[in-house]
Structure 1
Amino acid sequence: LIPWLGTRRSLLAIALLLVLLGGAASLAWERRRTWLPACMLIALACLWLLDGGLIRGSQGLLYERESSYNYIRVVQVGDERQLLLNEGLGIQSIYRPASVLTGHLYDYFLLAPYFAARPEPKPEPSLALIGLAGGTVAHQYTAVFGPVPIDAAEIDPAIVEVAREYFDLREPNVQTFVQDGRYFLARTAARYDVIAVDAYRTPYIPFHLTTREFFELARRRLDDDGVLAVNVGYAGDDRTLVEAIADTVHTVFPTVYVIDSAEDYNSLVLASVQPTDLDTVRARLEGLDEPLLAAVAARALPGLSRWERRAAVLTDDRAPVEQIVHGIVLRYALGVAQGTGEEALP
């Protein structure tokens, strides 16, 4: 019901149905006292017709909407516009008209081309973006690398509309596909220099975008020297989900790196089609002379490490992602209760 009626009217519709059933039962059994369900029916009909007002008011709110997939909010915080989805535990996109960089993990996606074995001195990477949101990464790639071809898959058409209306996503080099990201990769014949996966919704993530089979598909859609970059969240010091995904990626790609963000509760998992080594990648990042890229590299380098394990493997047959997330949340809550954790989830 929710995609057609919205949350408020769906609940009212269920309540109306219960009143009708209760009234029918009362009438059938007693043939009297029908005034009570009749009054309740009238009250519910009035509530149905009334404007429900804001779903969830918040400071700086510019827009809110329930779509078939998400509860969407756009808020203005100073000079920064943010896209929040569902519970609003994480920021899905940031837009600053006067700045390319956001100061968050989104910026690290700009470094992905330099994790290839033989990157061009001035790369012009083709990009597949799984999870468009407000288009932060698409904006950044266009600003830094020029009008490179960008194919962006976003399952929620309402988010695509919000990206265009509130986040100024109008770059002609960005082509949007209103599709599930895995379906998009399975159907396209294109190959890319970089595939960026940022389709996760805090704290849960679609399990079919975390499995070995998905990463095998992504590898087939990468060029011979391509790079995969995956944004994964964590809580406090608990990186169980990051570890599971990095392990799984490592069963498909020869070399895997992890950048732990100092600004967010997120890590960026990067994997190259060709074997690479940490010292070469680190030296390459340290030698970047483009000001924006150099600034991002300076922030990322302290958190950069090579991933060696291949212990856990998530598959289409068994990918207990929700159980992993539940465990993270439970341990986090216990840590807060015992005074050893942060005050709130990211």
Structure 2
Amino acid sequence: MSLNTLQIRPLSPFPIQTSRHTYPTNLKFSSKTLPRTRQIKSKSQETHNSTRQTKTQQDGIPIEDVKIIAKFKSRHNYIRVLEISRKADHPFAGSRLLLLDAPGNIQSISFLFKALTNTYFDVFATLPPIVPPGPIAILGFGAGSAARLLLELYPGVVIHGWELDPSVIDVGREYFGLKKLEKQYPDRLFIYVGNALTAKVKDGFSGILVDLFCKGSLIPELQDPNTWEKLRKSLRKGGRIMVNVGGSCVEAEDKRRDGKVVMERTLKAMHRVFGNRLFVLNLGNRKDDSSLAITGQLPDLDAWKKMLPRSLSCYVDMWEPFSL
């Protein structure tokens, strides 16, 4: 997810700070004037039903409805935690957002009174019913948005999550309820700090969720077929990989890393490994806004829907075969 209206200067390293002031008074902006609304785009721009809401995720949030409650520079990221007022006329109302990178990529979202997010994390939550028994890996754990959904919706699921930045895990525990989640599911949630592409467990994963971004762009390794071959080998028989491949809504720090182009290169690299067993789901109003990919032949769609909560079954019909 990205924040593209306000240009934010990187900060020097300093410990987590909290504040009761509203967002504009806590960050320094390169713009001399502040717009009246804050444009927050998601890496998964909108879900299929967001157009039925008063506003969509693409619409700005009034400045007075946004509060920054933490900001600091870690070794790997420029980290900010935002809190959106419950009174805001926006799909993110009542949420906390974890922003990473200078453009303001939202890595995690959490609502106080509901589990579903109306973002690509909900699509991730459709994976468990169509993979064999066994642990599921989350590569790019963030503050635990995907893990929370899977643990709450599927009592038997075991999650192994990898996150490169230990500060992101600390923020998840402090502001996104991750510490409570770990205590609640000590035998079902395991978190590792390190390179997600080295993830492995004995006997392999039943499913892998990939959400790996750096400096506002999918990491370059995901445009290499060798990466996908390695991940394929870490799956159990019948296992699947579901990937947030981004799209034109993703804003990178390096302007040469165009979100749509990087998405297309990633899908082509996956196609080299998975061939016609690769499917794409497009979110947003335009085809290239934001997409997810899944590997393996799709199961019977009606049977898949019956295994999902009704609020998630709508995504099943949105998958289409990937074509070059």
TM-score range, shorter chain: 0.5 to 0.7
CA contact (8 A) 1:210 1:245 kept: yes
Could you tell me which of 56, 64, 67 is aligned with 1:60?
67
Q: Name stretches of at least 5 consecutive residues in structure 1 with no aligned partner.
A: 1-5, 11-52, 310-346
Corresponding residue SS for 2:113: coil
Query: Taking structure 2 as the reference length, what is the TM-score of the superposition?
Result: 0.68
Cα separation, partners in 2 of 1:102 and 1:201, compared to 1, 3 Å: farther
CA contact (8 A) 1:105 1:263 kept: no
| Residue 280 of structure 2 corresponds to residue 271 of structure 1 | no
- Provide the alpha-carbon RMSD of the alignment: 2.8
User: In the aligned structure 2, how far is the partner of 1:247 from the partner of 1:63?
Assistant: 38
The code of the aligned residue for 1:92 comes to: Q
| Residue 272 of structure 2 corresponds to residue 251 of structure 1 | yes
User: In the aligned structure 2, how far is the partner of 1:143 from the partner of 1:157?
Assistant: 24
- Please give the residue correspondences for 1:20-169 in structure 2 after superposition, counting only pairs within 5 Å: 54=26, 56=28, 59-78=66-85, 79-116=94-131, 126-146=135-155, 148-169=157-178
Q: Deviations over 1:42-68 (max 9, x none)?
A: xxxxxxxxxxx9554883101111100
CA contact (8 A) 1:105 1:266 kept: no
Q: Which segment is superposed worse, 58-67 or 98-107?
A: 58-67
Q: Name stretches of at least 5 consecutive residues in structure 2 with no aligned partner.
A: 1-9, 15-24, 30-62, 86-93, 251-258
Number of residue equivalences: 245
Identity %: 24
Cα separation, partners in 2 of 1:284 and 1:261, compared to 1, 3 Å: farther
User: In the aligned structure 2, how far is the partner of 1:72 from the partner of 1:7?
Assistant: 10
User: In the aligned structure 1, how far is the partner of 2:206 from the partner of 2:79?
Assistant: 31
Shift of 1:210: 3.3
Cα separation, partners in 2 of 1:149 and 1:243, compared to 1, 3 Å: same
User: In the aligned structure 1, how far is the partner of 2:198 from the partner of 2:219?
Assistant: 13
**Structure number with higher relative contact order (C-alpha < 8 Å, ≥ 6 residues apart):** 2
User: In the aligned structure 2, how far is the partner of 1:115 from the partner of 1:239?
Assistant: 28
User: In the aligned structure 1, how far is the partner of 2:215 from the partner of 2:283?
Assistant: 16
User: In the aligned structure 2, how far is the partner of 1:202 from the partner of 1:111?
Assistant: 28
Corresponding residue SS for 1:252: helix
User: In the aligned structure 2, how far is the partner of 1:93 from the partner of 1:132?
Assistant: 9
Cα separation, partners in 2 of 1:8 and 1:155, compared to 1, 3 Å: closer
Query: Taking structure 1 as the reference length, what is the TM-score of the superposition?
Result: 0.64
Q: Rg larger in 1 or in 2?
A: 1
Corresponding residue SS for 2:240: strand
Q: Deviations over 1:168-217 (max 9, x none)?
A: 112322111110111334xx445111101112146322212332111111
Could you tell me which of 269, 284, 287 is aligned with 2:303?
284
CA contact (8 A) 2:126 2:308 kept: no
The code of the aligned residue for 1:283 comes to: D
Q: Deviations over 1:286-335 (max 9, x none)?
A: x32543xx31221x2453201133xxxxxxxxxxxxxxxxxxxxxxxxxx
Corresponding residue SS for 1:251: helix
Q: Deviations over 1:214-264 (max 9, x none)?
A: 111111111101010110111169843333222211222250110111389
Q: Which segment is superposed worse, 58-67 or 226-235?
A: 58-67
CA contact (8 A) 2:203 2:236 kept: no
Cα separation, partners in 2 of 1:69 and 1:301, compared to 1, 3 Å: same
Q: Which segment is superposed worse, 58-67 or 172-181?
A: 58-67
The code of the aligned residue for 1:87 comes to: A
The code of the aligned residue for 1:81 comes to: R
User: In the aligned structure 1, how far is the partner of 2:292 from the partner of 2:155?
Assistant: 23
Which structure is higher in helix share? 1
Give the equivalent residue in structure 2 for 1:240: 261
Could you tell me which of 199, 206, 213 is aligned with 1:193?
206
Give the equivalent residue in structure 1 for 2:282: 260
Corresponding residue SS for 1:111: coil
Cα separation, partners in 2 of 1:80 and 1:301, compared to 1, 3 Å: same
Cα separation, partners in 2 of 1:244 and 1:54, compared to 1, 3 Å: same
Cα separation, partners in 2 of 1:141 and 1:214, compared to 1, 3 Å: same
| Residue 313 of structure 2 corresponds to residue 297 of structure 1 | yes
Which structure is higher in strand share? 2
Could you tell me which of 299, 308, 326 is aligned with 2:323?
308
